[in-house]
Amino acid sequence: MNPDYRRQVLTGWGLTSPSAALVGEVVPGELAERLKEPTGRGIVARGLGRSYGDAAQNAGGVVLRIGSSTSEVVIDSDSGTVTVGAGVSLDELMRILVPKGWFVPVTPGTRFVTVGGAIASDIHGKNHHVEGSFGRHVRRMSVVVANGDLVECSPAENPDLFWATIGGMGLTGFVVEATFGLIPIETSRCVVDTVRCRDFDELIGEMSIGDDDVRYSVAWVDLLATGRRFGRGVLWRGDHAKLSDLDAREAGDPLRYEPRRVVTVPPIVPGRGLVGATTSQIFNELWLRKEPIRRSGSVKSIPSYFHPLDSISSWNHLYGRGGFVQYQFVVPFGAEAALRSIVERIVASRLASPLVVLKRFGEANEAPLSFPMPGWTLTVDMPAVADGLAELTRALDDSVLEAGGRHYLAKDALTSAAIVRAGYPRLREWQEIRERWDPERRFCSDLARRLELI
Ligand SMILES: Cc1cc2nc3c(=O)[nH]c(=O)nc-3n(C[C@H](O)[C@H](O)[C@H](O)COP(=O)(O)OP(=O)(O)OC[C@H]3O[C@@H](n4cnc5c(N)ncnc54)[C@H](O)[C@@H]3O)c2cc1C
């Protein structure tokens, strides 16, 4: 076994299902050699470990972090693209891009993800309903496949590998470099409109009209409120601010970008953590009241609009040693009644934390394992050690499938192989492509074994 590897226990962001692997950090040029070495139970890439479950873990095998330098970031202003090593994080990238007047095509709720992780999960952001997921913006990438070859792929060249790698959860090879499109911006601020909604019907109604005219749209739902307040929430819609949106002081330095971390949660939070039904209920009430009933044109910074949680380091420790799960699914448009009954079930369980997101997705892309489809996606965090969680999620899994939906692999910790097979009708097609590029099944992960992906 390679002497540079260290045995390490890894978890995802949810801190559940720890497993031990040999972990190493490599530069792309070393990957071919590393793939020739015996790896026990296979090998998989790890970015910044922001997937919630076991996607970037490999019990008894090898897990590799790919080092990439920000000095190799190349912006092409003519085509509006950037070429970047896959180990570079969106945080590092935005610190380079924003002051030059560019923004990443898609950002998740945290900027601490790598480009490789963004491609492997085909991440989505607040702009999915108009601009799709990350994979739609990737023009080309280079991937080190199982035999050690560096393979160039794009929608035109080796398209099977290209689309199987987007959303392929690291199981087709190591992405080492990618070129993708950027959004030109005049300022580093965003203009945001807020609407506070009294109940579920009002929220769904507000979201159903007008989304197509705005670039960014997402809602928060209070999943502890009952009775008349069931499904109340707040909808925020926005776009990048133009120079003319800024006051004279801000317009003097329109592309200033200085994200900061304000506090750190220590690794030891006692017992079942600080997130319980009562604390969450109080938080939700305060959170809702601070929002205006309707306001247009608030100017916010990129961190406060896109990545508010990033100002608190290690906030995942708030749930205590047992960790938490993030349950995320999508159901197609037309299944609003099913969505409502799923939400009712979650509310009745009293397991939801304040971290809840509801969003309308737009068109899917060509990647067989890409999660988004046109419809409603709901994301909810719940403590992993809560009584009744397994029964709740099993029941929700069935309802999601019955409604024609599916679950997001990058967030999953609890679902089953059968549920994923049913939710991803193109899984077999993806497996056949994977098999061609990795016939000996060198790439493997805990997620792949648990959900029988390979
Ligand atoms: C606070 C928070 C908010 C989030 N919000 C969103 C959101 O809004 N939308 C969304 O879509 N996701 C969201 N996520 C999930 C996150 O975007 C994805 O899990 C992303 O894949 C994490 O990237 P990472 O670099 O940490 O990868 P890891 O978590 O380390 O790995 C994820 C997967 O990518 C693979 N991988 C990593 N690097 C490579 C590589 N170089 N080559 C091949 N495969 C690779 C791994 O094998 C693994 O399967 C959020 C996560 C957090 C913690």
How high is the mean pLDDT of the chain? 94
Among 110, 131, 313, 447, residue to substitute to test ligand 1 (most atoms within 8 Å of Cβ): 110
Ligand 1 contacts CB of residue 50 (under 6 A): yes
Residue nearest to atom 44 of ligand 1 (CA): 170
**Phi first, then psi: what are they for 72, rounded to 5°?**
-95, 10
Q: For ligand 1, atom 36, which residue shows the shortest CA distance?
A: 117
Instruction: Scan for tokens 């491609």, then name that residue.
Output: 119
Q: Which residues contact 304 (CB under 8 A, 6 or more apart)?
A: none
Report whether residue 175 contacts ligand 1, using a CB cutoff of 6 Å. Answer: yes
Mention every residue, 6+ apart, whose C-beta is less than 8 A from residue 139.
81, 154, 179, 180, 181
Non-local CB neighbours of 81 within 8 Å, separated by 6+ positions? 75, 139, 179, 180, 181, 182
> In degrees rounded to 5, what are phi and psi of residue 369?
-105, 15
Mark out the alpha helices in 135-254 (DSSP H runs): 159-165, 200-208, 248-251
**Both tokens of residue 323?**
């960790």
For residue 17, pLDDT over 80 is answered with: yes
From 123, 307, 437, the mutation candidate for ligand 1 (largest count of ligand atoms within 8 A of CB) is 123
Q: Which of 17, 51, 437 to mutate to test the pocket of ligand 1 (most atoms within 8 A of CB)?
A: 51
The pLDDT tens digits for 104-141 are: 999 999 999 999 999 999 999 999 999 999 999 999 99
| Centroid of ligand 1 to alpha carbon of 50 (angstroms) | 5
Q: Of all protein residues, whose CA lies closest to atom 51 belonging to ligand 1?
A: 50
SS3 45: strand
Is the beta carbon of 307 within 6 A of some atom in ligand 1? no
Percent residues over pLDDT 70 in the chain: 98
For position 148, what pLDDT does the model report?
A: 96
Atom of ligand 1 nearest to the CA of 121: 21
Task: Determine if ligand 1 sits within 6 Å of the CB of residue 143.
Answer: no
**Helix 336-349 / helix 389-402 crossing angle, nearest 10 deg:** 180
pLDDT on residue 2: 81
User: Measured in angstroms, how far is the CA atom of residue 49 from the centroid of ligand 1?
Assistant: 7
- Which residues, 6 or more positions from 249, have their beta carbon under 8 angstroms from its beta carbon? none
CA distances from 310 to 152, 320, 387 (A): 34, 19, 29
- How many A from CA of 179 to the centre of ligand 1? 18
Tell me the pairing of strands 233-240 and 216-221. Answer: antiparallel
* Residue 424 Cβ contacting ligand 1 at under 6 Å: no
- Ligand 1 center–CA 14 separation, angstroms: 12
Atom of ligand 1 nearest to the CA of 13: 53
User: Which DSSP state fits 35?
Assistant: H
* DSSP β-ladder status, 294-301 and 43-46: unpaired
> Distance (Å, rounded) from C-alpha 247 to C-alpha 431?
54
3-state secondary structure of 221: strand
Determine the atom of ligand 1 nearest the C-alpha atom of 309. Answer: 1
Q: Is 43 in the pocket of ligand 1 (CB under 6 A)?
A: no
Q: Give counts: helices (H), strands (E), the chain.
A: 14, 21
Tokens of 93: 């990238």
Cβ(56) – ligand 1 distance below 6 Å: yes
Q: Using 50, 70 and 90 to split pLDDT, how confident is the model at 264? A: confident
- Is 262's pLDDT higher than 90? no
- Distance CA(379)–CA(220), nearest Å, equals 10
**Which range among 22-26, 55-59, 66-70 shows the weakest confidence by mean pLDDT?**
66-70
* HSE, side-chain direction, 13 A CA sphere, residue 340: 13
Distance between CA atoms of residues 435 and 221, nearest Å: 41
How confident is the model at residue 272, as a pLDDT? Answer: 64
* Cα–Cα distance list, 398 to 48, 297, 326, 328, 342 (Å): 31, 41, 17, 14, 10
**Beta-ladder partners of 153:** 141
- Give the ligand 1 atom nearest the CA of 143: 42
Contact residues for 359 (Cβ-Cβ < 8 A; gap 6+): 126, 128, 129, 217, 218, 219, 376, 377
Put residue 242 in one of left, alpha, beta given phi > 0 → left and psi -120 to 50 → alpha.
beta
Identify the pLDDT of residue 280. 79
Model pTM?
Answer: 0.97
Q: Which residue from 11, 15, 65, 121 has its CB within 8 A of the most atoms of ligand 1, so it is best to mutate?
A: 121
Residue 121 CA, ligand 1 centroid: distance in Å: 6
Mean pLDDT of 312-319: 86
Tell me if domain 70-185 and domain 189-415 are identical in fold.
no
Q: What is the DSSP string of 236-263?
A: EEEEEPPGGGS-HHHHTSTT-------E
3-state SS, residue 152? strand
DSSP-assigned states of every residue in 392-438: HHHHHHHHHHHTT-EE-TTT-SS--HHHHHHH-TTHHHHHHHHHHH-
**Is 169 near ligand 1, meaning CB less than 6 Å away?**
yes
382-410: pLDDT as tens digits: 999 889 999 999 999 999 999 999 999 99
Q: Which CATH class is domain 189-415?
A: alpha beta
Q: Which residues contact 306 (CB under 8 A, 6 or more apart)?
A: 107, 109, 111, 125, 126, 190
Q: What gap in Å lies between CA 11 and CA 5, rounded to an integer? A: 17
Going from the Cα of 276 to the center of ligand 1, the distance in angstroms, rounded, reads: 27
pLDDT computed for residue 285 by the predictor: 79
**91 C-alpha to center of ligand 1: Å?**
13
The confidence score (pLDDT) of residue 138 equals 98
Q: Is 14 in the pocket of ligand 1 (CB under 6 A)?
A: no
Q: What's the full length of the chain, in residues? A: 454
User: What is the b/e burial string over 330-364, where b = at least 16 CB atoms within 10 angstroms of the residue's CB?
Assistant: bbbeebbebbeebbeebbebbbbbbbbbbbbbbeb
Q: Which residues contact 409 (CB under 8 A, 6 or more apart)?
A: 55, 121, 167, 169, 369, 371, 420, 447, 451
CATH fold of 70-185: 3.30.465
Cite the DSSP H helix spans in 112-247: 115-120, 128-131, 159-165, 200-208
**Range 318-342 average pLDDT:** 94
pLDDT at residue number 266:
67
Distance in Å, CA 398 to ligand 1 centroid: 25
Domain range list for the chain: 70-185, 189-415
Within 13 Å, how many C-alpha atoms sit on residue 4's CB side? Answer: 10
